[in-house]
Amino acid sequence: MASSPILVLLPLLLVLPFLASLGFADANVASTSLVSTGTICNSTPYPSICRSNLPSNDTGDIYYYGRAAMHKSLLQARKFLALVDKYLTRQASLMISAVRALEDCHLLASLNVEFLLNSFQAVNATSSALPMLKADDVQTLLSAILTNGMTCLDGLQSTASAWSVKNSLSVPLANDTKLYSVSLALYTRAWVPPKKKKGKGGAGAWQPKSRQLPFQNGHMSFMMSSRTRQIYDSVTRRTLLQSSEDDPVMVSDIVVVSQDGTWNFTTINDAVMAAPNNTDGTNGYFLIYVTAGVYEEYVSIANNKRYLMMIGDGINQTVITGNRSVADGWTTFSSATFAVVAPNFVAVNITFRNTAGAQKFQAVAVRSAADLSVFFSCSFEAYQDTLYTHSLRQFYRECDVYGTVDFIFGNAAVVFQNCNLYPRLPISGQSNMITAQGRTDVNQNTGTSIHNCTIRAADDLASSNTSVQTYLGRPWKQYSRTVYMQSFMDSLINPAGWQIWNGDFALTTLYYAEYNNTGPGSNTTNRVTWPGYHVINATDAANFTVSSFLLGDNWLPQTGVPYTSGLI
Protein backbone atom coordinates (compact mmCIF):
# COMPACT_ATOMS: atom_id res chain seq x y z
CA MET A 1 0.00 0.00 0.00
CA ALA A 2 0.89 3.63 0.12
CA SER A 3 2.50 4.26 3.49
CA SER A 4 2.08 2.63 6.85
CA PRO A 5 -1.52 3.20 7.94
CA ILE A 6 -2.54 5.73 10.54
CA LEU A 7 -4.05 3.39 13.09
CA VAL A 8 -7.24 4.95 14.38
CA LEU A 9 -8.02 2.47 17.15
CA LEU A 10 -11.42 3.35 18.62
CA PRO A 11 -12.08 1.99 22.11
CA LEU A 12 -14.89 -0.51 22.05
CA LEU A 13 -17.03 1.61 24.37
CA LEU A 14 -16.98 4.40 21.79
CA VAL A 15 -17.86 2.12 18.91
CA LEU A 16 -20.79 0.29 20.47
CA PRO A 17 -23.14 3.25 21.08
CA PHE A 18 -23.10 4.34 17.51
CA LEU A 19 -23.36 0.98 15.87
CA ALA A 20 -27.01 1.72 16.55
CA SER A 21 -27.00 4.14 13.67
CA LEU A 22 -26.44 1.24 11.27
CA GLY A 23 -29.47 -0.70 12.44
CA PHE A 24 -27.73 -3.00 14.91
CA ALA A 25 -29.80 -1.54 17.77
CA ASP A 26 -32.06 1.38 18.53
CA ALA A 27 -30.21 4.69 18.66
CA ASN A 28 -29.70 6.16 22.13
CA VAL A 29 -31.24 9.48 21.16
CA ALA A 30 -34.52 9.79 19.27
CA SER A 31 -34.29 12.14 16.29
CA THR A 32 -36.91 14.49 17.71
CA SER A 33 -35.60 14.56 21.30
CA LEU A 34 -34.10 17.79 22.62
CA VAL A 35 -30.83 16.91 24.32
CA SER A 36 -27.67 18.62 25.45
CA THR A 37 -24.47 18.87 23.49
CA GLY A 38 -22.79 16.48 25.92
CA THR A 39 -25.50 13.85 25.46
CA ILE A 40 -25.41 13.96 21.66
CA CYS A 41 -21.60 13.96 21.59
CA ASN A 42 -21.37 10.89 23.80
CA SER A 43 -23.06 8.92 21.03
CA THR A 44 -20.43 9.87 18.42
CA PRO A 45 -17.04 8.20 17.82
CA TYR A 46 -15.10 11.24 19.10
CA PRO A 47 -16.99 12.89 22.01
CA SER A 48 -14.27 15.39 22.89
CA ILE A 49 -13.87 16.58 19.30
CA CYS A 50 -17.65 16.78 19.07
CA ARG A 51 -17.99 18.87 22.25
CA SER A 52 -15.21 21.25 21.26
CA ASN A 53 -16.83 21.99 17.88
CA LEU A 54 -20.56 22.05 18.62
CA PRO A 55 -22.41 24.81 20.50
CA SER A 56 -21.90 24.36 24.25
CA ASN A 57 -24.58 24.82 26.92
CA ASP A 58 -27.25 24.28 24.29
CA THR A 59 -30.07 21.87 23.54
CA GLY A 60 -31.43 20.65 20.25
CA ASP A 61 -32.47 17.61 18.27
CA ILE A 62 -30.16 15.48 16.17
CA TYR A 63 -30.89 17.54 13.05
CA TYR A 64 -29.76 20.70 14.81
CA TYR A 65 -26.52 19.09 15.93
CA GLY A 66 -25.99 17.37 12.59
CA ARG A 67 -26.24 20.67 10.72
CA ALA A 68 -23.96 22.36 13.25
CA ALA A 69 -21.32 19.64 12.88
CA MET A 70 -21.44 19.76 9.11
CA HIS A 71 -21.24 23.56 9.03
CA LYS A 72 -18.22 23.51 11.33
CA SER A 73 -16.67 20.79 9.14
CA LEU A 74 -17.07 23.08 6.13
CA LEU A 75 -15.37 25.95 7.95
CA GLN A 76 -12.50 23.71 9.01
CA ALA A 77 -12.09 22.33 5.50
CA ARG A 78 -11.76 25.85 4.10
CA LYS A 79 -9.27 26.74 6.83
CA PHE A 80 -7.16 23.66 6.09
CA LEU A 81 -7.18 24.39 2.35
CA ALA A 82 -5.87 27.88 3.05
CA LEU A 83 -3.12 26.39 5.22
CA VAL A 84 -2.06 24.01 2.44
CA ASP A 85 -2.02 26.89 -0.04
CA LYS A 86 0.21 28.89 2.32
CA TYR A 87 2.80 26.11 2.34
CA LEU A 88 2.60 25.69 -1.42
CA THR A 89 3.64 29.33 -1.84
CA ARG A 90 6.89 28.35 -0.12
CA GLN A 91 7.55 25.30 -2.28
CA ALA A 92 10.87 26.63 -3.54
CA SER A 93 12.31 25.84 -0.12
CA LEU A 94 10.80 22.36 0.08
CA MET A 95 11.91 18.96 -1.16
CA ILE A 96 10.04 17.73 -4.22
CA SER A 97 8.49 14.89 -2.21
CA ALA A 98 6.95 17.42 0.19
CA VAL A 99 5.65 19.53 -2.70
CA ARG A 100 3.98 16.50 -4.24
CA ALA A 101 2.34 15.57 -0.95
CA LEU A 102 1.09 19.16 -0.60
CA GLU A 103 -0.25 19.13 -4.15
CA ASP A 104 -2.18 15.96 -3.34
CA CYS A 105 -3.57 17.62 -0.22
CA HIS A 106 -4.59 20.72 -2.18
CA LEU A 107 -6.67 18.64 -4.60
CA LEU A 108 -8.20 16.57 -1.81
CA ALA A 109 -8.95 19.58 0.40
CA SER A 110 -10.54 21.41 -2.55
CA LEU A 111 -12.82 18.44 -3.16
CA ASN A 112 -13.71 18.34 0.54
CA VAL A 113 -14.84 21.96 0.50
CA GLU A 114 -17.08 21.25 -2.49
CA PHE A 115 -18.45 18.00 -1.02
CA LEU A 116 -19.19 19.58 2.36
CA LEU A 117 -20.93 22.55 0.78
CA ASN A 118 -23.15 20.23 -1.26
CA SER A 119 -23.84 18.05 1.78
CA PHE A 120 -24.70 20.98 4.03
CA GLN A 121 -27.11 22.37 1.45
CA ALA A 122 -28.89 19.01 1.35
CA VAL A 123 -29.33 18.65 5.11
CA ASN A 124 -30.08 22.31 5.70
CA ALA A 125 -33.27 21.95 3.68
CA THR A 126 -35.01 19.33 5.82
CA SER A 127 -35.37 17.88 9.32
CA SER A 128 -36.44 14.43 8.23
CA ALA A 129 -34.94 11.45 6.46
CA LEU A 130 -33.88 12.16 2.90
CA PRO A 131 -35.19 10.16 -0.08
CA MET A 132 -33.16 7.00 -0.61
CA LEU A 133 -31.12 8.21 -3.59
CA LYS A 134 -30.38 11.62 -2.12
CA ALA A 135 -29.43 10.05 1.19
CA ASP A 136 -26.96 7.79 -0.59
CA ASP A 137 -25.51 10.75 -2.52
CA VAL A 138 -24.76 12.67 0.67
CA GLN A 139 -23.47 9.64 2.58
CA THR A 140 -21.17 8.96 -0.36
CA LEU A 141 -19.80 12.50 -0.27
CA LEU A 142 -19.27 12.43 3.50
CA SER A 143 -17.55 9.04 3.20
CA ALA A 144 -15.24 10.45 0.53
CA ILE A 145 -14.42 13.48 2.70
CA LEU A 146 -13.02 11.14 5.36
CA THR A 147 -11.09 9.21 2.71
CA ASN A 148 -9.64 12.42 1.26
CA GLY A 149 -8.47 13.52 4.67
CA MET A 150 -6.83 10.18 5.40
CA THR A 151 -5.14 10.16 1.98
CA CYS A 152 -3.65 13.59 2.61
CA LEU A 153 -2.56 12.50 6.09
CA ASP A 154 -0.94 9.31 4.76
CA GLY A 155 0.96 11.33 2.17
CA LEU A 156 2.21 13.82 4.76
CA GLN A 157 3.29 11.04 7.10
CA SER A 158 5.44 9.50 4.37
CA THR A 159 7.18 12.81 3.69
CA ALA A 160 10.12 12.40 6.05
CA SER A 161 12.06 15.20 4.34
CA ALA A 162 9.70 17.96 5.46
CA TRP A 163 9.19 17.72 9.20
CA SER A 164 7.93 21.29 9.58
CA VAL A 165 5.24 20.80 6.94
CA LYS A 166 4.20 17.45 8.35
CA ASN A 167 4.02 18.68 11.93
CA SER A 168 2.11 21.84 11.02
CA LEU A 169 -0.51 20.09 8.91
CA SER A 170 -0.90 16.62 10.41
CA VAL A 171 -2.37 17.68 13.76
CA PRO A 172 -5.10 19.98 12.41
CA LEU A 173 -5.87 17.50 9.64
CA ALA A 174 -6.21 14.62 12.10
CA ASN A 175 -8.60 16.69 14.23
CA ASP A 176 -10.56 17.78 11.17
CA THR A 177 -10.90 14.18 10.05
CA LYS A 178 -12.33 13.23 13.45
CA LEU A 179 -14.83 16.09 13.11
CA TYR A 180 -15.82 14.74 9.68
CA SER A 181 -16.42 11.39 11.34
CA VAL A 182 -18.72 13.06 13.88
CA SER A 183 -20.62 14.75 11.03
CA LEU A 184 -21.00 11.43 9.21
CA ALA A 185 -22.26 9.68 12.34
CA LEU A 186 -24.89 12.34 13.05
CA TYR A 187 -25.91 12.49 9.40
CA THR A 188 -26.33 8.72 9.16
CA ARG A 189 -28.56 8.63 12.21
CA ALA A 190 -30.68 11.64 11.27
CA TRP A 191 -31.06 11.74 7.48
CA VAL A 192 -30.48 8.19 6.17
CA PRO A 193 -33.75 6.23 5.79
CA PRO A 194 -34.03 3.20 8.09
CA LYS A 195 -34.21 0.74 5.17
CA LYS A 196 -30.78 1.77 3.95
CA LYS A 197 -29.21 1.12 7.37
CA LYS A 198 -30.08 -2.56 7.41
CA GLY A 199 -27.89 -5.44 6.35
CA LYS A 200 -24.86 -7.16 7.78
CA GLY A 201 -21.61 -5.40 7.23
CA GLY A 202 -23.43 -2.09 6.97
CA ALA A 203 -24.50 -2.51 3.34
CA GLY A 204 -27.77 -1.10 2.13
CA ALA A 205 -30.69 -3.51 1.85
CA TRP A 206 -32.69 -1.77 -0.86
CA GLN A 207 -34.37 -4.27 -3.17
CA PRO A 208 -35.02 -2.86 -6.66
CA LYS A 209 -36.15 -4.64 -9.77
CA SER A 210 -33.77 -7.10 -11.37
CA ARG A 211 -32.26 -5.80 -14.59
CA GLN A 212 -29.88 -7.07 -17.24
CA LEU A 213 -29.17 -4.35 -19.77
CA PRO A 214 -29.76 -5.72 -23.30
CA PHE A 215 -26.77 -5.56 -25.61
CA GLN A 216 -26.42 -6.48 -29.27
CA ASN A 217 -23.21 -8.33 -30.01
CA GLY A 218 -21.59 -6.71 -27.02
CA HIS A 219 -21.64 -3.29 -28.67
CA MET A 220 -22.87 0.03 -27.44
CA SER A 221 -25.51 2.03 -29.24
CA PHE A 222 -25.13 5.80 -29.42
CA MET A 223 -27.59 8.61 -30.06
CA MET A 224 -25.75 11.51 -31.68
CA SER A 225 -26.17 14.23 -34.25
CA SER A 226 -25.72 13.37 -37.92
CA ARG A 227 -22.42 15.26 -37.98
CA THR A 228 -21.11 13.37 -34.97
CA ARG A 229 -22.27 10.05 -36.40
CA GLN A 230 -20.46 10.70 -39.68
CA ILE A 231 -17.23 11.43 -37.84
CA TYR A 232 -17.56 8.32 -35.73
CA ASP A 233 -18.49 6.05 -38.63
CA SER A 234 -15.51 7.30 -40.59
CA VAL A 235 -12.94 6.46 -37.94
CA THR A 236 -14.17 3.12 -36.64
CA ARG A 237 -13.72 -0.04 -38.66
CA ARG A 238 -16.08 -2.16 -36.65
CA THR A 239 -19.71 -1.84 -35.71
CA LEU A 240 -19.82 -0.05 -32.40
CA LEU A 241 -23.01 1.75 -33.32
CA GLN A 242 -26.29 -0.12 -33.29
CA SER A 243 -28.88 2.46 -34.29
CA SER A 244 -31.76 0.05 -33.71
CA GLU A 245 -31.11 -0.13 -29.94
CA ASP A 246 -34.05 0.92 -27.79
CA ASP A 247 -31.93 2.85 -25.30
CA PRO A 248 -28.92 4.37 -27.07
CA VAL A 249 -26.28 6.28 -25.16
CA MET A 250 -26.61 10.01 -25.76
CA VAL A 251 -23.50 11.75 -27.10
CA SER A 252 -23.28 15.53 -27.38
CA ASP A 253 -20.06 15.67 -29.40
CA ILE A 254 -17.03 13.64 -30.38
CA VAL A 255 -13.34 14.27 -30.88
CA VAL A 256 -10.80 11.81 -32.20
CA VAL A 257 -7.26 11.25 -30.94
CA SER A 258 -4.80 9.73 -33.41
CA GLN A 259 -1.05 9.82 -33.17
CA ASP A 260 -0.56 10.36 -36.91
CA GLY A 261 -2.23 13.77 -36.75
CA THR A 262 -5.05 12.94 -39.16
CA TRP A 263 -7.82 13.81 -36.70
CA ASN A 264 -8.57 16.36 -33.99
CA PHE A 265 -5.77 15.73 -31.52
CA THR A 266 -2.54 13.77 -31.20
CA THR A 267 -2.64 13.53 -27.39
CA ILE A 268 -5.35 12.42 -24.98
CA ASN A 269 -4.70 15.36 -22.67
CA ASP A 270 -5.46 17.84 -25.44
CA ALA A 271 -8.73 16.08 -26.12
CA VAL A 272 -9.66 16.19 -22.45
CA MET A 273 -8.91 19.93 -22.36
CA ALA A 274 -11.33 20.41 -25.26
CA ALA A 275 -14.20 18.85 -23.34
CA PRO A 276 -16.77 21.33 -22.02
CA ASN A 277 -16.73 22.23 -18.35
CA ASN A 278 -19.34 21.34 -15.73
CA THR A 279 -21.94 19.80 -18.02
CA ASP A 280 -24.95 18.13 -16.39
CA GLY A 281 -25.33 15.29 -18.89
CA THR A 282 -28.60 16.57 -20.31
CA ASN A 283 -27.19 16.49 -23.84
CA GLY A 284 -25.21 13.30 -23.29
CA TYR A 285 -21.53 12.43 -23.05
CA PHE A 286 -18.60 14.22 -24.62
CA LEU A 287 -17.00 11.28 -26.42
CA ILE A 288 -13.24 10.99 -26.92
CA TYR A 289 -12.39 8.24 -29.37
CA VAL A 290 -8.72 7.19 -28.94
CA THR A 291 -7.44 5.24 -31.93
CA ALA A 292 -4.97 2.39 -31.59
CA GLY A 293 -1.51 3.29 -30.35
CA VAL A 294 0.70 3.47 -27.29
CA TYR A 295 0.16 6.84 -25.61
CA GLU A 296 3.01 7.72 -23.27
CA GLU A 297 1.35 10.45 -21.26
CA TYR A 298 -0.03 11.11 -17.80
CA VAL A 299 -3.72 11.85 -18.05
CA SER A 300 -5.60 13.68 -15.31
CA ILE A 301 -9.31 14.36 -15.74
CA ALA A 302 -10.30 17.21 -13.45
CA ASN A 303 -13.52 17.53 -11.51
CA ASN A 304 -15.05 19.94 -14.01
CA LYS A 305 -14.77 17.55 -17.00
CA ARG A 306 -18.01 15.75 -16.25
CA TYR A 307 -19.89 13.25 -18.40
CA LEU A 308 -16.83 12.34 -20.39
CA MET A 309 -16.69 9.00 -22.22
CA MET A 310 -13.41 7.64 -23.57
CA ILE A 311 -13.41 4.72 -26.00
CA GLY A 312 -10.35 2.99 -27.40
CA ASP A 313 -9.77 0.38 -30.07
CA GLY A 314 -9.51 -2.45 -27.56
CA ILE A 315 -7.34 -3.97 -24.86
CA ASN A 316 -3.68 -3.95 -25.98
CA GLN A 317 -4.66 -1.78 -28.95
CA THR A 318 -5.21 1.58 -27.27
CA VAL A 319 -2.64 1.75 -24.45
CA ILE A 320 -2.01 4.58 -21.99
CA THR A 321 1.28 4.07 -20.18
CA GLY A 322 3.63 5.68 -17.67
CA ASN A 323 6.25 4.66 -15.10
CA ARG A 324 5.94 6.88 -12.02
CA SER A 325 6.55 5.20 -8.67
CA VAL A 326 7.10 5.86 -4.98
CA ALA A 327 10.68 4.68 -5.38
CA ASP A 328 11.27 7.56 -7.79
CA GLY A 329 9.87 10.18 -5.43
CA TRP A 330 6.17 10.28 -6.24
CA THR A 331 3.44 9.74 -3.70
CA THR A 332 1.28 6.68 -4.27
CA PHE A 333 -1.58 9.07 -5.06
CA SER A 334 0.41 11.00 -7.69
CA SER A 335 2.10 7.97 -9.25
CA ALA A 336 -0.98 7.15 -11.33
CA THR A 337 -0.60 6.98 -15.09
CA PHE A 338 -4.28 7.83 -15.46
CA ALA A 339 -6.27 9.73 -12.84
CA VAL A 340 -9.89 10.84 -12.89
CA VAL A 341 -12.01 12.72 -10.38
CA ALA A 342 -14.75 13.97 -12.74
CA PRO A 343 -18.16 12.40 -12.01
CA ASN A 344 -19.95 10.20 -14.55
CA PHE A 345 -16.78 9.13 -16.36
CA VAL A 346 -16.90 6.08 -18.66
CA ALA A 347 -13.90 4.25 -20.20
CA VAL A 348 -14.20 1.43 -22.74
CA ASN A 349 -11.68 -0.74 -24.60
CA ILE A 350 -8.45 0.74 -23.17
CA THR A 351 -5.33 -0.67 -21.51
CA PHE A 352 -3.87 1.37 -18.65
CA ARG A 353 -0.28 0.58 -17.61
CA ASN A 354 2.37 1.52 -15.13
CA THR A 355 5.67 0.00 -16.23
CA ALA A 356 7.77 0.97 -13.19
CA GLY A 357 8.00 -2.71 -12.32
CA ALA A 358 7.82 -4.72 -9.12
CA GLN A 359 11.18 -3.38 -7.91
CA LYS A 360 9.81 0.17 -7.68
CA PHE A 361 7.07 -0.82 -5.18
CA GLN A 362 3.93 1.38 -5.23
CA ALA A 363 3.19 2.39 -8.82
CA VAL A 364 -0.42 3.04 -9.82
CA ALA A 365 -1.84 2.47 -13.28
CA VAL A 366 -5.24 4.10 -12.60
CA ARG A 367 -6.51 6.19 -9.72
CA SER A 368 -10.24 6.81 -9.77
CA ALA A 369 -12.12 9.14 -7.46
CA ALA A 370 -14.86 9.64 -10.03
CA ASP A 371 -18.37 9.26 -8.66
CA LEU A 372 -20.77 7.13 -10.71
CA SER A 373 -17.90 6.05 -12.96
CA VAL A 374 -17.58 2.95 -15.13
CA PHE A 375 -14.71 1.03 -16.71
CA PHE A 376 -15.86 -1.53 -19.29
CA SER A 377 -13.63 -3.97 -21.17
CA CYS A 378 -10.44 -2.32 -19.92
CA SER A 379 -7.12 -3.71 -18.68
CA PHE A 380 -5.11 -2.42 -15.72
CA GLU A 381 -1.46 -3.53 -15.63
CA ALA A 382 1.17 -2.91 -12.95
CA TYR A 383 2.56 -4.67 -9.89
CA GLN A 384 2.10 -3.17 -6.42
CA ASP A 385 -0.96 -0.90 -6.13
CA THR A 386 -2.17 -1.28 -9.72
CA LEU A 387 -5.71 0.03 -9.38
CA TYR A 388 -6.51 2.73 -6.84
CA THR A 389 -10.29 2.73 -6.39
CA HIS A 390 -9.89 5.76 -4.20
CA SER A 391 -13.40 6.95 -3.30
CA LEU A 392 -17.06 7.46 -4.24
CA ARG A 393 -19.09 4.99 -6.38
CA GLN A 394 -17.49 2.93 -9.15
CA PHE A 395 -18.30 -0.05 -11.39
CA TYR A 396 -15.94 -2.31 -13.38
CA ARG A 397 -17.27 -4.79 -15.93
CA GLU A 398 -15.37 -7.36 -18.01
CA CYS A 399 -12.01 -5.85 -17.07
CA ASP A 400 -8.59 -7.45 -16.52
CA VAL A 401 -6.55 -6.42 -13.48
CA TYR A 402 -2.90 -7.52 -13.11
CA GLY A 403 -0.76 -6.96 -10.04
CA THR A 404 1.06 -8.24 -6.97
CA VAL A 405 0.80 -6.51 -3.58
CA ASP A 406 -2.54 -4.85 -2.73
CA PHE A 407 -3.21 -4.48 -6.42
CA ILE A 408 -6.83 -3.40 -5.95
CA PHE A 409 -6.91 -0.88 -3.12
CA GLY A 410 -8.75 2.21 -1.92
CA ASN A 411 -12.01 3.18 -0.26
CA ALA A 412 -14.63 3.49 -2.95
CA ALA A 413 -17.99 1.77 -2.97
CA VAL A 414 -17.03 -0.43 -5.91
CA VAL A 415 -18.29 -3.54 -7.67
CA PHE A 416 -16.13 -5.64 -9.99
CA GLN A 417 -18.35 -7.82 -12.16
CA ASN A 418 -17.34 -10.46 -14.73
CA CYS A 419 -13.71 -9.35 -14.39
CA ASN A 420 -10.45 -11.30 -14.52
CA LEU A 421 -8.03 -10.77 -11.63
CA TYR A 422 -4.47 -11.89 -12.42
CA PRO A 423 -1.93 -12.06 -9.56
CA ARG A 424 1.57 -11.71 -11.02
CA LEU A 425 5.03 -12.80 -9.92
CA PRO A 426 6.21 -10.41 -7.16
CA ILE A 427 9.76 -9.70 -6.06
CA SER A 428 11.45 -12.26 -3.85
CA GLY A 429 9.94 -12.48 -0.37
CA GLN A 430 6.65 -10.83 -1.23
CA SER A 431 3.20 -12.36 -1.16
CA ASN A 432 0.31 -11.33 -3.36
CA MET A 433 -2.69 -9.58 -1.79
CA ILE A 434 -5.44 -8.99 -4.30
CA THR A 435 -7.25 -6.33 -2.26
CA ALA A 436 -6.41 -3.81 0.46
CA GLN A 437 -9.64 -2.01 1.26
CA GLY A 438 -9.34 1.27 3.14
CA ARG A 439 -12.59 1.93 5.04
CA THR A 440 -11.78 3.93 8.19
CA ASP A 441 -15.21 4.57 9.67
CA VAL A 442 -18.13 2.28 10.46
CA ASN A 443 -20.57 4.76 8.89
CA GLN A 444 -18.86 4.91 5.50
CA ASN A 445 -20.92 3.25 2.77
CA THR A 446 -17.77 1.93 1.10
CA GLY A 447 -16.27 -1.46 0.33
CA THR A 448 -15.06 -3.72 -2.46
CA SER A 449 -17.48 -6.25 -3.95
CA ILE A 450 -16.08 -8.84 -6.36
CA HIS A 451 -18.94 -10.54 -8.16
CA ASN A 452 -18.82 -13.33 -10.75
CA CYS A 453 -15.12 -12.74 -11.40
CA THR A 454 -12.29 -15.15 -12.20
CA ILE A 455 -9.03 -15.29 -10.26
CA ARG A 456 -6.15 -17.05 -12.00
CA ALA A 457 -2.38 -16.71 -11.95
CA ALA A 458 -0.88 -14.46 -14.61
CA ASP A 459 1.48 -16.21 -17.01
CA ASP A 460 4.66 -15.17 -15.17
CA LEU A 461 3.35 -16.49 -11.85
CA ALA A 462 1.87 -19.64 -13.37
CA SER A 463 5.16 -20.58 -15.06
CA SER A 464 7.39 -19.79 -12.08
CA ASN A 465 8.82 -22.43 -9.78
CA THR A 466 8.42 -20.26 -6.69
CA SER A 467 5.96 -20.85 -3.86
CA VAL A 468 4.39 -17.40 -3.87
CA GLN A 469 1.45 -17.09 -1.50
CA THR A 470 -1.62 -15.32 -2.83
CA TYR A 471 -4.42 -13.99 -0.59
CA LEU A 472 -7.83 -12.48 -1.24
CA GLY A 473 -6.95 -9.38 0.73
CA ARG A 474 -5.68 -7.73 3.89
CA PRO A 475 -7.06 -4.89 6.04
CA TRP A 476 -5.36 -1.63 5.14
CA LYS A 477 -7.63 0.36 7.47
CA GLN A 478 -9.70 -0.24 10.59
CA TYR A 479 -13.07 -1.09 9.00
CA SER A 480 -11.82 -2.72 5.82
CA ARG A 481 -14.71 -4.33 3.93
CA THR A 482 -14.40 -6.79 1.01
CA VAL A 483 -16.79 -9.43 -0.30
CA TYR A 484 -16.22 -12.15 -2.91
CA MET A 485 -19.41 -13.57 -4.44
CA GLN A 486 -20.06 -16.25 -7.06
CA SER A 487 -16.49 -16.01 -8.34
CA PHE A 488 -14.03 -18.64 -9.56
CA MET A 489 -10.85 -18.98 -7.47
CA ASP A 490 -8.04 -21.08 -8.86
CA SER A 491 -5.64 -23.10 -6.71
CA LEU A 492 -3.20 -20.22 -6.18
CA ILE A 493 -5.35 -18.85 -3.32
CA ASN A 494 -3.86 -19.71 0.07
CA PRO A 495 -6.29 -21.93 2.06
CA ALA A 496 -6.45 -19.28 4.82
CA GLY A 497 -7.83 -16.91 2.21
CA TRP A 498 -6.93 -13.66 3.95
CA GLN A 499 -3.75 -12.12 5.34
CA ILE A 500 -3.10 -9.83 8.31
CA TRP A 501 -1.87 -6.25 7.92
CA ASN A 502 -0.02 -5.90 11.22
CA GLY A 503 -0.64 -8.20 14.17
CA ASP A 504 -4.28 -8.19 15.22
CA PHE A 505 -5.02 -4.78 13.66
CA ALA A 506 -8.64 -4.57 12.44
CA LEU A 507 -9.39 -8.28 12.81
CA THR A 508 -12.47 -7.59 14.95
CA THR A 509 -13.68 -4.50 13.07
CA LEU A 510 -13.16 -5.52 9.43
CA TYR A 511 -15.92 -7.16 7.37
CA TYR A 512 -14.65 -9.85 4.99
CA ALA A 513 -17.11 -12.28 3.45
CA GLU A 514 -17.41 -15.01 0.86
CA TYR A 515 -20.53 -16.35 -0.83
CA ASN A 516 -20.96 -19.31 -3.17
CA ASN A 517 -17.58 -19.12 -4.88
CA THR A 518 -16.21 -21.99 -6.98
CA GLY A 519 -12.85 -23.44 -7.94
CA PRO A 520 -10.06 -25.14 -5.98
CA GLY A 521 -9.18 -21.94 -4.11
CA SER A 522 -12.73 -21.30 -2.88
CA ASN A 523 -12.86 -23.94 -0.15
CA THR A 524 -13.57 -22.10 3.12
CA THR A 525 -12.80 -25.02 5.47
CA ASN A 526 -9.39 -23.68 6.47
CA ARG A 527 -10.13 -19.97 6.21
CA VAL A 528 -9.10 -17.49 8.90
CA THR A 529 -11.17 -17.49 12.08
CA TRP A 530 -11.14 -13.73 12.66
CA PRO A 531 -14.28 -12.22 14.24
CA GLY A 532 -14.73 -10.04 11.17
CA TYR A 533 -14.64 -12.89 8.62
CA HIS A 534 -17.90 -14.46 7.45
CA VAL A 535 -19.23 -17.08 5.09
CA ILE A 536 -22.55 -15.48 4.18
CA ASN A 537 -25.87 -16.54 2.69
CA ALA A 538 -27.74 -15.18 -0.33
CA THR A 539 -29.66 -12.64 1.75
CA ASP A 540 -26.49 -11.05 3.05
CA ALA A 541 -24.71 -11.32 -0.30
CA ALA A 542 -27.56 -9.43 -1.99
CA ASN A 543 -26.52 -6.36 0.00
CA PHE A 544 -23.31 -6.16 -2.05
CA THR A 545 -24.82 -6.42 -5.53
CA VAL A 546 -24.92 -3.62 -8.07
CA SER A 547 -28.53 -2.77 -7.24
CA SER A 548 -28.12 -2.61 -3.47
CA PHE A 549 -24.52 -1.55 -2.89
CA LEU A 550 -24.30 1.02 -5.71
CA LEU A 551 -28.02 1.64 -6.32
CA GLY A 552 -26.83 1.03 -9.86
CA ASP A 553 -30.22 0.62 -11.49
CA ASN A 554 -30.61 4.37 -11.14
CA TRP A 555 -27.47 5.44 -13.01
CA LEU A 556 -25.83 2.58 -14.91
CA PRO A 557 -28.38 2.32 -17.76
CA GLN A 558 -27.43 5.73 -19.14
CA THR A 559 -23.80 4.56 -19.53
CA GLY A 560 -24.73 1.83 -22.00
CA VAL A 561 -22.55 -0.67 -20.13
CA PRO A 562 -24.05 -4.12 -19.45
CA TYR A 563 -24.48 -5.20 -15.85
CA THR A 564 -26.24 -7.74 -13.68
CA SER A 565 -28.39 -6.06 -11.09
CA GLY A 566 -28.52 -8.82 -8.47
CA LEU A 567 -26.99 -12.21 -7.82
CA ILE A 568 -26.67 -14.60 -10.73
The C-alpha atoms of residue 18 and residue 37 are separated, in whole angstroms, by 16
For 138-205, give the DSSP string.
Answer: HHHHHHHHHHHHHHHHHHHHT-TT-HHHHHHHHHHHHHHHHHHHHHHHHHHHHHS-HHHH-SGGG---
Nearest to 524 by CA among 501, 492, 493, 502: 493
Q: Is 406 a catalytic residue?
A: yes
Which residues face 296 on adjacent strands? 321
**240 φ/ψ sector (left φ>0, alpha ψ -120 to 50, else beta):** alpha
Give the Cα separation of 105 and 331 in Å (integer).
11
Integer-rounded Cα Rg, in Å, for the chain is: 23
Phi, psi of 318 (to 5 degrees): -100, 115
Extract the runs of DSSP E, i.e. beta strands, from 191-337.
222-223, 249-257, 285-290, 293-296, 299-301, 308-312, 318-322
Q: What does the alpha-carbon distance between residue 402 and residue 382 come to, in Å, rounded to a whole number?
A: 6
Q: What distance lies between CA 442 and its chain's CA centroid? A: 16
Nearest to 483 by CA among 526, 528, 439, 449: 449
The burial class, CB within 10 Å (0-12 / 13-18 / 19+), for 319 is: buried
H or E segment to which residue 274 belongs: helix 268-274
Question: DSSP string covering 98-152, please?
Answer: HHHHHHHHHHHHHHHHHHHHHHHHHHTT-SSPPPHHHHHHHHHHHHHHHHHHHHH
Check residue 35 and give left, alpha or beta (phi > 0: left; psi -120 to 50: alpha): beta
Distances (CA, A) of 161 to 7, 157, 297, 299: 22, 10, 28, 28
Query: Within 10 A of 361 (CB to CB), how many other CB atoms are there?
Result: 21
- Contact predicate 169/83, CB 8 Å: yes
Beta strand pairing status for 35-36 and 59-60? Answer: antiparallel
Choosing from 154, 406, 441, 540, the catalytic residue is 406
User: Are the beta carbons of 113 and 78 closer than 8 angstroms?
Assistant: yes
Q: Which residues are catalytic?
A: 406
